[in-house]
Amino acid sequence: MQTYCVDKQVSDSAATATAYLTGVKGNYQTIGVSGKVQVVDCESAKLSANRASSIAKWAQDAGKATGVVTTARVTHASPAGVYAHVPYRGMESDGDNKNLELDLKSCNFDIAKQLVFEEPGKNLNVRNYGICRFF
């Protein structure tokens, strides 16, 4: 599998997650969108034609249970590749969007919102299978 991104040979985890979870190459620092979306281009990232469906969406459409296991925060670039579509990996929350000085009218969708309110994020299943103990 090749996970380099469209605009750079050495990728970051955002574009890499997009490649291995959707089969679509994106640009450096973008998540869940095609190479037609440039970094911080919110208008292009909103277009459904530029959004890549992940393996989680495919599984949900087939009636399967899906989830994310991560040691990083769930809005970080690698796990967000399962459910998010953003033009910049730093768009983890409303606060991040404000701190990045993004146009909040066009960039009003962040990774956390997509996890809670949009598919496939809102359909991810969470199960507690007990406590693991390491000795």
Which positions are annotated as active-site residues? 13
Q: Which long-range contacts does 114-118 make (Cβ < 8 Å, 24+ apart)?
A: 114/83, 114/84, 114/85, 114/86, 115/74, 115/75, 115/80, 115/83, 115/84, 118/83
124: burial class by Cβ within 10 Å (0-12, 13-18, 19+)?
Answer: middle
Q: How many C-beta atoms lie closer than 10 Å to residue 110's C-beta?
A: 22
Radius of gyration for the alpha carbons in the chain, expressed in angstroms and rounded: 15
Q: Are 111 and 80 within 8 A, CB to CB?
A: yes
Q: Determine the Cα–Cα distance for residues 87 and 37; give it in Å rounded to an integer.
A: 7
